[in-house]
Amino acid sequence: MLVPILDLPAPPASTDAARATLAKLSLFATVLVRPAAGNTIPTDLDLTSAIVPVPVALTSDPDTWLTTATQFLDAGAAGVLLDPTPALTKSTASSLAATLKASGLPASRIHVQLSASGATLSNEKDLLDCIAALNPAVAGGYWLSWPALPVAPVGDVSDDANADKKAAFLRTVARDAVKNLSAATKRGDATRVFTIQAPSVPVTAALIGAADKAGLNVACPASQIALTPSTDPALLDVGAAATAPLATDRPDAIRTGQGVYHSRTRGLWYKGLTSGATQALLRIDYDCDRDTLQFVVDQHGLGFCHNGTRSCFGAGAASGTGVAALAETLEKRMVDAPAGSYTRRLFEDDKLLAAKVLEEAQELVDARSKDEVAGEAADLIYFALARATSMGVSLLDIEKVLDARARKVSRRPGNAKPKYAAAVAEKAQETRSAEQAPVAPKAPVPAPAAAPEDPNAGLKMRVVDLRSVSTTDVAPEVLYVADKIGAAQVVLAGGAQAVAAMAFGTESVLKVDKICGPGNQFVTAAKMQVQNSTQAMVAIDMPAGPSEVLVIADGNSDPRFVAADLLSQAEHGPDSQVVLVAVGVTDAQLARVEAEVVKQALQLPRVEIVRKCLPKSVIVRAATMQDAVKFSNAYAPEHLILNLDDQVAKDLVKDITSAGSVFVGAYSPESCGDYASGTNHTLPTYGYAAMYSGVNTHTFVKHITTQHLSKAGLDQLAEAVITLAEVEGLDAHARAVAVRVGRFEL
């Protein structure tokens, strides 16, 4: 086969023409790309089908050329051509092979330039010895140049009909040594390519074809190759060069850069001219017998078939299934997804799509059985491809990235980002016992007994044995949830007394490690007391006292909704507080809200409690939404309800810095947070939302960090640790590291 040699122009000359030439030649050949003397190859040049020369000074430090070779391979180069100076001997070849093996560079992408003396290869044995020494570390190929090779004395080697002349020419070029050298490159577990350079001999299609039959490649300067039809006899036609090793004479695909085929019924067939399903030719490869071609193409349109499908063999064909079929379907849905379809909803809702990607990734991590892993992986692939498609990224784009990464020889550490896994390990451990603060008998609601949001969190809640308690004294909903989360005992007690019993332990109440849950001011005070007691040694979730709500509303808010939101907290107890922040409302609008509060309160069974609560509550008038948010952040409410038009409410969320839980929009009442929407309703009150979060599953888990350092890892951290310890005046800290890294002797 032909190996073009492309010489890049020296800066500041433009490389545009060279890039176009490289793209054309890369369709069928691997190209040797050479920079101008004293210059480097541009980093943005596509080297996917290129070999890059790397000078190797055998007498100097190998790190220099190894670094250069690594950089080119990382950039995606198909290979590097090592050009040793001085010329290799058996001894230096062995040394070079050892250096390559130790470097870890992939042998399949390493090529080596060899040296020949004259036309007859008088140093054949030396070359064979060098190849044998290099073979363990070089599997890409060898290059051999005959600078002084005479013009073939046997006639016109461009005559395709004269096979005897071509064979005679090759024998003249290398005598029997060609056969020996070619065989030498094939020893071991790899077949290496042997490329000859003969500057004094014109490269023709006949020469390329004959050399290919002998197992050789022929190098030729790109400047001597005609990329478009030409009558210049000194130029090698690119189509003829590409098809020289093949049993065909149709160079149409190479000349046009498109998928061009020959059909028994259609004859010469330019794919997609009528259907629009054209193909941009990316690469042509030959099979081992040189009678079959493989086209690698960028398929345009909706698929290979003129019917708009990926395969001409129907939707059930192998090429129309799996990930490729999914990518094709998503691309179609991006254009014409049916109204109301889930895929269309994903494309129109970035937040939903992002949430589903994260959700499925976590479920894949959590999956344990083979079927579960397969199912969750399929889900994740679907949503990941949907995300890619929504951003205009095709499966081919993804595959290109994967291929480019596969070419890199420098390996990344592969550590997870700190967001997902800290540099030191974390071990999550359930607290040995975590209790809910008792609920006053006034409001025996079921929700406070359900400590975590997840009923499968495995918490064990130790309290008085239920066998000694009449179940008629406990709300059945509480018992159901307690059983659902695996509670061992339930305390039939309330107030500060129950907090003390759980914190210190009694004959009938087991001591706990943590007390969680809301209560009145006495319960909150008791929790604050016991968390500071060295005898109790108990933690609490947060100060969670009497309920409170702050509602932000404007002139567009429904007075009925606003009044209902205020009353939903006012009925909790006489010590609850409700606050309305009214933005830009008129006196008449405010009067309608107050009237609704009175009207709805009188209909409540707990109206007397509401009567005691409302005098402690307040209405604040604000001129702007920014003023309302500023007041809310300073107040830090347990519940913040943005009783506003949806978009207005959503836009405000980013400005909220202190709140236990935020209810966004006119249709997000606080009651849903108590019972059904999934957020826990045990929240910080009395301004503690400025520093505490609400109860969540993390409340019932403690984390133990562990760290394991290798000797090499300690060596990297030693300088920082010793320096910081010395700054603090903690010499023993510093020495604990120094003695391990050899900086201090005991």
What does the alpha-carbon distance between residue 412 and residue 431 come to, in Å, rounded to a whole number?
Answer: 38
pLDDT: which is higher, 583 or 87: 583
Residues 42, 75 contacting (CB under 8 angstroms): no
Q: Does the 318-407 domain belong in CATH 1.10.287.1080?
A: yes
Question: pLDDT per residue over 164-183, tens digit each?
Answer: 444 454 444 444 445 555 55
CATH superfamily of 549-692: Nitrogenase molybdenum iron protein domain (3.40.50.1980)
HSE-up of residue 478 (Cα within 13 Å, Cβ side) = 21
In this predicted structure, what is the pLDDT of residue 676?
Answer: 87
Q: Where is mean pLDDT largest: 28-37, 262-271, 442-451?
A: 28-37
What does the alpha-carbon distance between residue 683 and residue 103 come to, in Å, rounded to a whole number?
Answer: 59
In this predicted structure, what is the pLDDT of residue 431?
Answer: 45
Range(s) of the chain covered by CATH 3.40.50.1980: 427-540, 549-692
Question: pLDDT per residue over 197-238, tens digit each?
Answer: 877 677 888 888 877 877 788 899 999 999 988 889 889 988
Q: Does the 427-540 domain belong in CATH 3.40.50.170?
A: no
Q: Which residue has the tokens 């003829």?
A: 240
In DSSP terms, 33 is beta-bridged to 6
Catalytic residue among 596, 638, 670, 681: 638
Indicate the SS3 state at residue 435: strand
H-run or E-run covering 608? helix 607-613
Question: pLDDT per residue over 367-380, tens digit each?
Answer: 999 999 999 999 99
Residue 667 one-letter amino acid: Y
Q: Which DSSP letter does residue 281 get?
A: E
Range(s) of the chain covered by CATH 3.20.20: 2-245
In this predicted structure, what is the pLDDT of residue 376?
Answer: 93
Indicate the SS3 state at residue 367: coil
In DSSP terms, 284 is beta-bridged to 295
Q: Where is mean pLDDT largest: 30-44, 105-119, 173-187, 458-472?
A: 30-44
What does the alpha-carbon distance between residue 442 and residue 527 come to, in Å, rounded to a whole number?
Answer: 20
What does the alpha-carbon distance between residue 675 and residue 447 come to, in Å, rounded to a whole number?
Answer: 7
Range(s) of the chain covered by CATH 1.10.287.1080: 318-407
In this predicted structure, what is the pLDDT of residue 248?
Answer: 57
Residues 96, 84 contacting (CB under 8 angstroms): yes
What does the alpha-carbon distance between residue 562 and residue 674 come to, in Å, rounded to a whole number?
Answer: 18
Which candidate, 208, 280, 214, places its Cα nearest to that of 246?
Answer: 208
Question: pLDDT per residue over 380-415, tens digit each?
Answer: 999 999 999 999 999 889 988 888 888 888 777 666
Question: Who contacts 542 (Cβ-Cβ below 8 Å, separation ≥6)?
Answer: 684, 688, 692, 693, 694, 695
Output the six-digit token pair for 86. Answer: 């001085």
Indicate the SS3 state at residue 85: strand
Question: pLDDT per residue over 675-701, tens digit each?
Answer: 888 887 789 888 988 988 888 888 888
Tell me the H-state helices in 235-314: 238-243, 252-256
Output the six-digit token pair for 111. Answer: 């090529």
- Whether a cis peptide bond, with omega within 30° of 0, leads into 86 is yes
Q: Is 681 an active-site residue?
A: no
Binned at pLDDT 50, 70 and 90, residue 314 comes out as: low
Question: pLDDT per residue over 471-482, tens digit each?
Answer: 456 778 888 888
In this predicted structure, what is the pLDDT of residue 665?
Answer: 95
Q: What are the E-state strand segments in 597-687?
A: 618-622, 639-643, 661-664
Residue 33 one-letter amino acid: V
Which candidate, 487, 527, 482, 485, places its Cα nearest to that of 503?
Answer: 527
In this predicted structure, what is the pLDDT of residue 590?
Answer: 92
Q: Which of the residue ranges 66-75, 159-168, 604-613 would you say has the lowest mean pLDDT?
A: 159-168
Residue 310 one-letter amino acid: R
In this predicted structure, what is the pLDDT of residue 302?
Answer: 62
Main-chain dihedrals φ then ψ at residue 740, nearest 5 degrees:
-85, -25
Q: Which residue has the tokens 């010329």?
A: 87
What does the alpha-carbon distance between residue 215 and residue 120 come to, in Å, rounded to a whole number?
Answer: 19
The share of the chain scoring above pLDDT 90, in percent, equals 35
Main-chain dihedrals φ then ψ at residue 363, nearest 5 degrees:
-65, -30
Question: Who contacts 460 (Cβ-Cβ below 8 Å, separation ≥6)?
Answer: 432, 433, 486, 487, 488
Q: What is the mean pLDDT of the chain?
A: 80
In this predicted structure, what is the pLDDT of residue 149?
Answer: 46
- Whether a cis peptide bond, with omega within 30° of 0, leads into 546 is no
What does the alpha-carbon distance between residue 462 and residue 488 come to, in Å, rounded to a whole number?
Answer: 6
What does the alpha-carbon distance between residue 21 and residue 223 come to, in Å, rounded to a whole number?
Answer: 10
Q: What are the E-state strand segments in 584-660?
A: 618-622, 639-643
Taking residues 92-102, report their average pLDDT.
Answer: 93
In this predicted structure, what is the pLDDT of residue 157?
Answer: 39
Residues 524, 495 contacting (CB under 8 angstroms): no
What does the alpha-carbon distance between residue 174 and residue 121 come to, in Å, rounded to a whole number?
Answer: 7
Q: Which of the residue ranges 244-258, 552-566, 627-641 would you say has the lowest mean pLDDT?
A: 244-258
The answer to whether residue 579 scores a pLDDT higher than 70 is: yes
Question: pLDDT per residue over 245-269, tens digit each?
Answer: 876 556 666 667 777 777 666 677 7
Q: Which DSSP letter does residue 676 get?
A: T
Residues 577, 616 contacting (CB under 8 angstroms): yes
In this predicted structure, what is the pLDDT of residue 216?
Answer: 80
> Nearest 5 degrees, angle CA 153-CA 6-CA 144?
45
The answer to whether residue 195 scores a pLDDT higher than 90 is: no
DSSP output for 95-143: HHHHHHHHHT--GGGEEEEEE--TTTTTTHHHHHHHHHHHTTT--SEEE
- Asked whether the CA dihedral 543, 548, 554, 558 is positive or negative, the reply is positive
Q: Is 719 an active-site residue?
A: no
Instruction: Answer yes or no: pTM beyond 0.75.
Output: no
Binned at pLDDT 50, 70 and 90, residue 596 comes out as: very high
What does the alpha-carbon distance between residue 345 and residue 336 come to, in Å, rounded to a whole number?
Answer: 12
The dotted CATH code for 2-245 is: 3.20.20
Residues 320, 314 contacting (CB under 8 angstroms): yes
In this predicted structure, what is the pLDDT of residue 240?
Answer: 86
The answer to whether residue 455 scores a pLDDT higher than 80 is: no
Q: Which DSSP letter does residue 77 get?
A: -
The answer to whether residue 490 scores a pLDDT higher than 50 is: yes
Question: pLDDT per residue over 272-302, tens digit each?
Answer: 877 778 888 777 777 776 667 777 777 777 6
Catalytic residue among 639, 728, 733, 745: 639
Q: Which of the residue ranges 38-47, 416-425, 532-541, 716-725 would you say has the lowest mean pLDDT?
A: 416-425
Binned at pLDDT 50, 70 and 90, residue 504 comes out as: very high
What does the alpha-carbon distance between residue 66 and residue 86 come to, in Å, rounded to a whole number?
Answer: 17
What does the alpha-carbon distance between residue 538 and residue 326 come to, in Å, rounded to a whole number?
Answer: 54
In this predicted structure, what is the pLDDT of residue 424?
Answer: 38
HSE-up of residue 702 (Cα within 13 Å, Cβ side) = 10
